[in-house]
Each structure stands twice: as structure tokens, then as C-alpha cells.
Chain A
Amino acid sequence: MRLRAVLAASAVVAAGLAVLAALTDGFSAMTTDGAWRLAVAERPRLLPDATFLDESGHAFRLSALRGRPVLVEFFYTNCPAICGLLASQFQSLPDTLVEWPRSPEVLLLSVSFDPARDTVTELADYAARLGADGRIWRFARVSDPDELRRLLDAFGVVVLPDGAGGFVHNAAIYSVDADGRLAGVYDPDAAERAIAEATK
């Protein structure tokens, strides 16, 4: 009687640990974002193409950027919080990039997910405020709502209206490799690590 219970308890513990390990990628990812980062690092994935309009009013396709690594962040210009941290990370990078061996190949791309308010003029003002040169660091919007949704899905970005006219969204730096694949997802304050891994 007791032996059966001991065996049953042991089986439950073994099965429970196995299930939890499977659900958390070996106890390494408890959150959706954590799991996404692991999955991307293990298997880079091709991104859908999209048409961007930059702060100068120039249209370009994401596929046209292939051949060089691109660090991408998503933002909206009215963001009161986390977008500022992301922007400050990119802001500090151009100085670093100049010293980086392969720096001219790297592009920084800030993509707005609020095309209704972030017009080309707004993007240009935002870029000017941050001192972006338009060469290494570009700002862009995606005008087509379907393309924008597909792009956000492909990057794993979840954008939720906050009920006060703004948005709550994931904050991360995304690394797109020279083949146009999403190859890495990094913390908002890990831009230097992202660029080091993108250029190695």
C-alpha cells in the first residue's frame, strides 16, 4: 500500500518535472518574451517583406537592406517611457559604430507602429531631436496596416492600446542578419552586445 504510494509520488514528480521542463524550454524561459528570444537565437527566421517610408520621405523595402546587419527597434513618437530608453541606446551607438571594425555595414532602424500619428514630418522632427544622421540611423513607418501587422507578428512584437491614447509594447532590440533573417532579440539596454554579435 505504502510502496504503491511512494512509487506513484515518484512517478508524479518525474512526470511533473518533465512537463515543466518542456513548457519552459528546460527551465530557461518562463515568459513569452524569454521563450521567443531562445527560439530566435536557436533558429533565425526569415522576415516578411514590407515597404517603409523613412523620415526623409523615401520609400524602401525591407528586402533592399539585405547584405548588411540591421538593428531594429519598434517605437511610437508619443511614447512616454520605454521608447526613450531604446532611443538613447541607439543614440549612443553611432559613436561606437565609428570605432567598430565593420561599422559602416550596420544600419540602425527605428520603426514606428503608430502610422496614424507618426507621419514623415513627425519622424523627421523626432530624428532631429535625437540627433540621428539619417545614414547609420533611420526612422521609418509602415503605411499598410496588413504589412505592419505581419511585420510585428514576425518580430514577436505585441502592441496593446493602453486606454489613454498610447500603447504598451515589448521593448527589445532586434537583430536582422545580412540574409534578412531575424537572428537575435536583446534587452533594451543591450545594444552594444547586439551590435557585437551582429558584426562578428
Chain B
Amino acid sequence: MISGILLYMMLVAPRVAAWLEGSMIGHMLIQIPLLALAGGLVARGASGGRGAVLDRFNAGGIPGLLVAVFAVIAWMLPRMLDAALRSALVEAAKFITVPLLVGMPLALSWPLLPPVARGFVWANLISHTAVLGWLYSVAPNRLCARYLFDQQTTLGMALLIMAIVLLLGWGGFAIVGAPRTARSTRYARADAAAH
């Protein structure tokens, strides 16, 4: 939990925020994912990963996962990135909603997701990252008005590389098995007991 708060405080520092937002890669691939990570670390630390009230509405982790998916889609819209750079209000909304609506629900829901759903999420994450990377690489026009065209193509290439790395990593885990943590074992036992 402390690590999440420290990470959040670092990201919200004006100099760090301005530096990361100076490039599309810094904004989309570093700042937003780290904000989500900060939210996730706080959520898992604060509740041990589970909350009795939330769990009643989050059986199987699907509702929480959907919250995170919609929030991610919203913050991947090029016009939202532009708006965050243009408006202090939207920028503040980003710093609040990404940890709260992406990181926290994801951290609370992931352990509850059945293996098939996790595979579905991974497959979609990889394929959509690749498609997004291709789109950013070949788009003839700037998608974000506040960033240069070459930053867009660089981001596209970075997304394609990320998709390949994720694919190799996921494929590796699928073959040799993902490392089991004490936490994941505890959730698995809790879910088995609940059902």
C-alpha cells in the first residue's frame, strides 16, 4: 500500500507529470499504466485484495474487470489525451480516475477471475495492443493534436513491440506455467470455499 502511495505521489509531482506527458509514449505507455499500478497497489494493500461488500457485486471479478476496461478505453482516446494536456480539470480527472477505476478494480477483480476469463483478457490485451500499434504506425494524420507526427509512429512501433513481448511472455507462461504466489494461492482457496 505504501509503495502505491509513494508511486502515486511521484507521478503526481508536476515535474514528473510534465516530463512524462512530453511524449506520447511517456503519456500513454508509462504514466497511465503506472497510475493504474499505483491504484492497484493501494487497493491490494488496503483490503488484502478483497472487500466483503465489493465482492458481493463482483462475483467472478467480471463487473470490476468491466469497470477497468471501460476506463482504459476512455483514456486511450486520442482526444482525451489532448484534453488532459489542455485542461487542468481533465488532467485532474485522469489522476483520480485511472487509479480508482482502472488499477483498483483490476487488482481486486483479477484474483477472482476464472482462468478462462484471464486468458480471454490476455488474448484481447495482446491483440488490441498490436492493432493499436499498427494503427498508430500507419495513420496518415496526427491523431493527437498536441503531439508530433513522429511521436505517433514511435508510439505505434512501441505498442507493436509490446504486443510481441506480451505474446512471448504469455506464451511462455502458458507452456511452463505462471509462477504461483502466496497471494494467488490464498485467493484460489477463498474462491473454492465460497463456491
Chain A residues with CB under 8 Å of chain B are 1-2, 4-5, 7-9, 11-13, 15-17, 19-20, 23-24, 29-35, 158, 160, 162, 168, 170-171
Once the chains are docked, how many angstroms separate the CA of A24 from the CA of B79?
8
Q: Choose, from B13-21, B63-71, B162-170, the stretch at the interface.
A: B63-71
B74→A35 contact, CB < 8 A? no
**Interface of A: prevailing SS:** helix
B78→A30 contact, CB < 8 A? yes
Shortest CB–CB separation between residue B83 and chain A, in angstroms?
7
Closest residue of chain A to B66 (Cβ to Cβ) is: A12
Shortest CB–CB separation between residue A120 and chain B, in angstroms?
30
B78→A31 contact, CB < 8 A? yes
| Interface contact tally, CB-CB below 8 A | 78
| 10 A-B pairs closest in CB distance | A16-B70, A5-B59, A8-B63, A8-B57, A32-B82, A12-B66, A32-B145, A9-B63, A158-B145, A32-B79
Once the chains are docked, how many angstroms separate the CA of A23 from the CA of B72?
13
Closest residue of chain B to A3 (Cβ to Cβ) is: B59
Once the chains are docked, how many angstroms separate the CA of A32 from the CA of B80?
8
> Contacts A33-B145, A160-B148, A168-B142 known; A4 to B77 CB distance under 8 Å?
no
**Residues of chain B contacted by A162 (CB below 8 angstroms):** 148
Once the chains are docked, how many angstroms separate the CA of A69 from the CA of B141?
27
Once the chains are docked, how many angstroms separate the CA of A11 from the CA of B63?
9
